[in-house]
Structure 1
């Protein structure tokens, strides 16, 4: 297959998402790609995925492109988010090839057990070499989208990535990772700084490859209290946004909207809204009015319907969407779920959610 280059992309025909992300007035509230891996509810997605190992899929630009486009063929979304995974960064650092357990979660065969294990990680990562497959997937997908809507790149945040590297997989308590905070603060800082350096280069590389917006996922923020979040997560989230924007400018690349999603960190919304991100994502545990009060008009908000609401009837989904849109208002808002979809969800109910967003946002504009 001919290697497409990150240039001469088709003109963007629908910039609603990008305008909303920048806080501009848009003709209707727009809808992002229902968080990452939205396609897992689709039969065609599961069929494509079943053909090979998960991370083999992530390393194939053609497969990533196809998995990114499948939900967009089904649903009238206003943006696409590239198919990949946050754990490609620990892999690039040499933290072993994580496999996927039968339950669907990531497993690190050799997790970090103590500070001495940090010596096993690469001190410097060449993202073009070690993560170039993600960049090629972005470039290919950007061409294939043909300008119908923007393409979003993403990364995991340092604290979330470190939890996987220490826990060896998912955890309800993150007790091993939090043990590092108290017993090995210096080593924890070294790990976060290393991750941050890679994340910055990785995000800039995604923009160079064609990404038109970037999202940073702090998925495990809920395991930290307010003070821990302020000490161990927020400084690195701020550092990422600041450094990415400076590097984009230095490299002559376009400044793109950046989104931060810190799940369960509603206590930090005011700080997040002052952290140089254009969009702050919300989970379903906070009232829209409270989120507005905490963030003011500084940022666009994204969210926040409980994903499990999609198990309800279509009529109830429509009513919940109506209330959500009324609560958030028209300006500075991107309608979305408060987290990702679950594989057993009915695609028709996802369609009902999207249709309701379009229906009521258009009514509010008329």
Structure 2
């Protein structure tokens, strides 16, 4: 038994009012984050500074009383830890040397990735200690990008667009792409288990670009890798819950939930919560899915949309969240307004 609402939901309990946290809650909409980022310098410098990364992870819990803190990091830490060069260009996002052939694949160092990612584990340890001291009912969520999504960046060399090079490679050179996914799975598993050892109480797999794939490719490159990861995590840490977020999966969300073995699935902004409630297995919790633009709007629109989601989720395991990340222009007072609506449910 636990007093932590998020962990109760992930164990299959319907908790009401539902617990809440927001994707990208530790970020640019908070003035305290911007101040800390200014001290750190670059985004990567912030990710790799355990003291400052722990501070920004806890900031939204301190300000809002969220039911979960999610590790402040990035889904591209795993390829960075394997030795693929990673930079973040201001206003342009991530840049990596594209992996297009066997030579590029051979340069990836799976064995050395864990040691390189040690600063992230120190962040996890610091956050867990800070939460235990000041926010004992708050769950610490660790995370990684899922193999398909991370491989998209590794092949494309950048974010944005439709990842056509990765989508072409799965057909033109499936052996190379499969070998890349195999390396990613191994490194990602080690990375997630290290977070669990350092103090993460739940793990989340972000498959942000799952919606790029047709159903058969979705099964092969989204469901199967996440299923293998979930099984390996369970074998090593039987009680560790996992949240999967196959963004823009549409009706494939139900198959993903049934096949992967995760304890919860995230609903993106486009998902109809009533459809998800009817089609996702009842033992799998749902998480989501307020439109971030509605959070910016606030007022009557915020109340209407939040109450609509709550009505669809009543009676089943559910964690309130956004369907995507908090936008930089979000007024913090609107987050407070949302929490008041939820806590009165």
The alignment's TM-score, normalised by the length of structure 1, stands at 0.89
RMSD, aligned α-carbons? 1.6
Confirm whether residue 47 of structure 1 aligns to residue 35 of structure 2.
Answer: yes
- Which 5+ residue runs of structure 2 have no aligned equivalent? none
Confirm whether residue 218 of structure 1 aligns to residue 207 of structure 2.
Answer: yes
Q: CA deviation at 1:270?
A: 2.0
Aligned-partner Cα distance in 2 for 1:199–1:122: 12
Q: CA deviation at 1:329?
A: 1.1
Offset from partner CA, 1:9-40 (integer Å, 9 cap, x none): xxx984111101211142421102x1135332
Q: Which residue of 2 aligns with 1:107?
A: 95
Find 1:137's aligned residue among 91, 109, 123: 123
| 4+ residue segments displaced more than 4 Å | none
- Range with greater deviation from structure 2 (146-155 or 206-215): 146-155
User: SS of the residue aligned with 2:176?
Assistant: helix
Q: CA deviation at 1:190?
A: 0.4
Work out whether residues 37 and 83 of structure 1, in 8 Å CA contact, stay in contact via their aligned partners in 2.
no
Find 2:23's aligned residue among 35, 39, 45: 35
Q: Which residue of 2 aligns with 1:286?
A: 271
TM alignment of 1:242-257, pairs within 5 A: 242-249=231-238, 255-257=239-241
Q: Which residue of 1 aligns with 2:317?
A: 332
TM alignment of 1:68-217, pairs within 5 A: 68-96=57-85, 98-103=86-91, 105-108=93-96, 110-127=97-114, 129-145=115-131, 146=133, 147-217=136-206
User: SS of the residue aligned with 2:27?
Assistant: helix
User: SS of the residue aligned with 1:49?
Assistant: helix
Offset from partner CA, 1:120-170 (integer Å, 9 cap, x none): 21153451x121111110011111112241111000000111111111111
Offset from partner CA, 1:243-262 (integer Å, 9 cap, x none): 0110225xxxxx12110001
Aligned-partner Cα distance in 2 for 1:13–1:293: 28
Q: Which residue of 1 aligns with 2:243?
A: 259
Q: CA deviation at 1:325?
A: 0.2
User: SS of the residue aligned with 1:302?
Assistant: strand
Q: Which residue of 2 aligns with 1:8?
A: none
Work out whether residues 273 and 299 of structure 1, in 8 Å CA contact, stay in contact via their aligned partners in 2.
yes
Q: Which residue of 2 aligns with 1:268?
A: 252
- Range with greater deviation from structure 2 (179-188 or 36-45): 36-45
User: SS of the residue aligned with 1:303?
Assistant: strand
Q: 1:107 to 1:227 in 2, by over 3 A?
A: same
Aligned-partner Cα distance in 2 for 1:195–1:289: 34
Work out whether residues 82 and 152 of structure 1, in 8 Å CA contact, stay in contact via their aligned partners in 2.
yes
> How many residues are matched?
340
Aligned-partner Cα distance in 1 for 2:92–2:294: 22
Confirm whether residue 313 of structure 1 aligns to residue 315 of structure 2.
Answer: no
User: SS of the residue aligned with 1:153?
Assistant: strand
- Which 5+ residue runs of structure 1 have no aligned equivalent? 1-11, 250-254, 361-366
Aligned-partner Cα distance in 1 for 2:327–2:15: 30
Find 2:333's aligned residue among 326, 348, 359: 348
Confirm whether residue 56 of structure 1 aligns to residue 42 of structure 2.
Answer: no
Q: 1:45 to 1:14 in 2, by over 3 A?
A: farther
Q: 1:216 to 1:290 in 2, by over 3 A?
A: same
Aligned-partner Cα distance in 1 for 2:112–2:218: 26
Aligned-partner Cα distance in 1 for 2:138–2:203: 14
Q: CA deviation at 1:311?
A: 2.4
